[in-house]
Structure 1
C-alpha cells in the first residue's frame, strides 16, 4: 500500500468522527470513539473468520488451502485473483534469466495480441517470487500471475513466502490483539459511556467463548441472570433521568414566553408590507369596472348592470 493510499484510507476512517470545525477536546474524545469502533470491528471480523464457513468456488486444493490460512475478508480477495488467473497463460523465457533464477512471461489469452499487456515473473532457486505488477509488495496479497504459475506447476499449497502473516487467521494471535483500554481516573472509569464501552468489549469476548457449544451457552446465560439480580440488589443506583431532575432548579418567576423570531421562508418575497384583514376590507378597495356603463361598484358588472337591463326591457 503506497503512502498516498494510506493517507486516503486514514482520512476516510476519521471523516465520520472528525470535521473541520471540531475542537481540540472534541477531537480527542472522537478519536477514542474511533479506536473503540475499530476494536469492535476487529473482534467481529475475528469471530466471522473463526466460526463462519468460507464459500468455495471450486474444488481446487490451492483454494482450500487459502480458506484455511486467510481471514474471511482476505479470502474473498484471494478468490477474485484466483478466478481472474484462469484467463492468463505462462510462457517460459529462455535466455532471459541466469543460473539462480528463471523468467516467465504472463499474458492474458482472452485479449487480442495487439491489446495484451505483458507481465514478467521472476522465480529464484531459493523459492522467492517477484512479479512486475508489484501487487504482493503493495498489498501483501498474492497476484493472479503468481497463482497462474503455481497452477501450472501443479502446486497444492501457497508457498509460505507468499503469505503475509497479518492477513492470516492466526495473525492477531502472533502480533497480539489491538491495544484498547478504557480511560481510567484512579480505579474508577470516569464516564458512563466509557464504562458501557468497556463492558461491551468484555462481554464480546465472553460471547465468542460461550457460543461454541450448548452447555457453555446455558451456563453463561444462567450466570448472567444470577449476577444481574445480585448487582441490582447489592448496588442500587440512581437512574440518569432522576439525577437530571434533581440537579435542575427552576426559577421562582417564570420567564415570559415570547414569539420565536420570524425566519425567511421559501419563495418570492412579498412586495410591500403585510396588511391585516381590516385594511384589506376597507372602503378604499378598488372594484371591477363595468364594461357597459363604466361604473365601479361592489357587485356591479355587465351581467347585472341596471342600464343594460333597462335597455333590454325597453326593446321588449
Structure 2
C-alpha cells in the first residue's frame, strides 16, 4: 500500500484487534461491524422490540443531538437504565452509531460483509477433507473464477455504454464516462432520489451560496449544501460524500440549479473512476523492486494477466495466440 496507513478500519469488535489497531494505526477511525452489533443486541437484551429499535438508531442519518434524544427515549421506553450492556454500548457510540461516523470515509461500508462474503465464496468451493495438493488446486480455481468475474466487470465498464434513463441526462452521461459501471448505477439512484427533494431557498454569502432542501413527505428533515462557484466545491450537511465518496442527491440538486452539465471535479473521488485501476497499475510497474517476495510477484502477475486472458478467450484466434505465447514464455521462464 506504498506505506499508506488506512484512514478507517472496520472490525467485529474483537478486543485484541481493537488494541492492535490503536497501537499500529492510531490515527485510523475504528468502526464496529453493524451486523455484529445487531447480533450482540439480540443476545444481550431480550426485550421485545428493542432489537429493531437499536438497529434503527445504528443507521440513524441525523446529527449527534438527534441521536442522543432518540437514545434516551429508547432507554426509557424499554426500562434499560441499569442494563450494563446498554450502558457499555452507549459509551462506545462513536464506534458504531452512524450519527457519529458521518464525515469519516468508510467507502459506504457499515459491516464486514465484504470480508465475510469472501469467506463464503471460498467455503462454497472448498471441501473439508481435502489433501493439500487438492486444496491448492481448488483454491486456484476459485481464485481464477473471482479474477475472471472482476475482469468481466472491468471489460463491461470500459466497452459498454449504459442506457440513459434519468431526467438529468447531461449529468448522467458524464457519470457514465468517468465512473465504473457499478458506481454509475449508484449515481443514477441518487438522481432518482433528487426528484423527491423540495427546494427551500438559496442564500448568498460572500464567496459561496447556501442551498436548502427538504424531502417530500419527510417533515422536519432539512439539508444544506454550500457551493463555492469559484472552485465548484460543495459541502452537504448529510456528509454522504465524505462517508462514501459519491455525490448525494442534495449535491446533484445544486448541480441542477446551477445548470451544470458535468459533475465538478471536487465531487468525483478518483478511486471510483475508470482510471483508478489503470493509474495504480502504471504506478506498480514503475515501483516494483527485486526485494518483493515471490508470493507478491505471483499475485501481481496473476492480476495482470487475467484481463488479457479474458479478452483472448472471446475468440478461437485470440485463444490460440495467447496459448502459444504462454507456452513459449513458460518454457523460457522455466
TM-score, normalised to structure 1, is: 0.52
Structure 1's 205 and 84: CA in aligned 2 closer, same or farther, altered over 3 A?
Answer: same
1:147 Cα deviation (Å)?
0.5
Which position in structure 2 is the counterpart of 1:76?
185
Q: Deviations over 1:8-33 (max 9, x none)?
A: 432333344479xx9xx99x979988
Aligned partner of 2:201 in structure 1 is 92
**SS of alignment partner, residue 154 of structure 1:** coil
Task: Give the structure 2 partner of residue 123 of structure 1.
Answer: 227
Q: Which residue of 2 aligns with 1:132?
A: 237
1:104 aligns with 2:211: yes
Tell me the SS of whatever aligns to 1:63. Answer: helix
Corresponding position of 1:249: none
Maintained 8 Å contact 1:89/1:148? no
Q: For the residues of structure 2 that align with 1:8 and 1:162, how far apart are their CA atoms?
A: 27
Q: Distance in 2 between matches of 1:117 and 1:124?
A: 24
Provide the secondary structure at the position in 2 that maps to 1:176: helix
Larger RCO (CA within 8 A; separation ≥ 6): 2
1:208 equivalent among 311, 317, 323: 311
Corresponding position: 1:42 with 2:146 = no
Deviation at residue 166 of structure 1 after TM alignment: 1.3
Distance in 2, matches of 1:89 and 1:100, equals 24
Work out whether residues 152 and 310 of structure 2, in 8 Å CA contact, stay in contact via their aligned partners in 1: no
Looking at structure 1, the residues matched to 147 and 283 of structure 2 have their Cα atoms a distance apart, in angstroms, of 7
Aligned pair count reads 205
Q: 1:169: how far off?
A: 1.2
Structure 2: which 5+ residue stretches go unaligned? 1-7, 11-30, 34-109, 285-292
Q: Which has the larger radius of gyration?
A: 1
- When the two chains are superposed, the root-mean-square deviation of aligned CA atoms in Å is 4.4
Structure 1 contact 135–143 (Cα < 8 Å) conserved: yes
- Alpha-carbon spacing, 1:6–1:33, altered in 2? closer, same or farther (3 Å): farther
* Inter-CA distance 156–209: structure 2 relative to 1 (3 Å threshold): farther
* Maintained 8 Å contact 1:85/1:144: yes
* Alpha-carbon separation, structure 1, partners of 2:141 and 2:227: 46
The alpha carbon displacement at 1:69 in A equals: 0.9
Distance 1:138 1:210 in 2: 39
Do the aligned partners of 1:40 and 1:201 also contact (CA within 8 Å) in 2? no
Q: CA deviation at 1:51?
A: 1.9
Judging changes above 3 Å, is the alpha-carbon distance between structure 1 residues 75 and 178 closer, same or farther for their aligned structure 2 residues?
A: farther
Deviation at 1:36, TM superposition (A): 5.6
Aligned to 1:166: 271
| Residues in 2 aligned to 1:171 and 1:74: alpha-carbon distance in whole angstroms | 13
Relative to the length of structure 2, the TM-score reads 0.49
CA contact (8 A) 2:148 2:310 kept: no
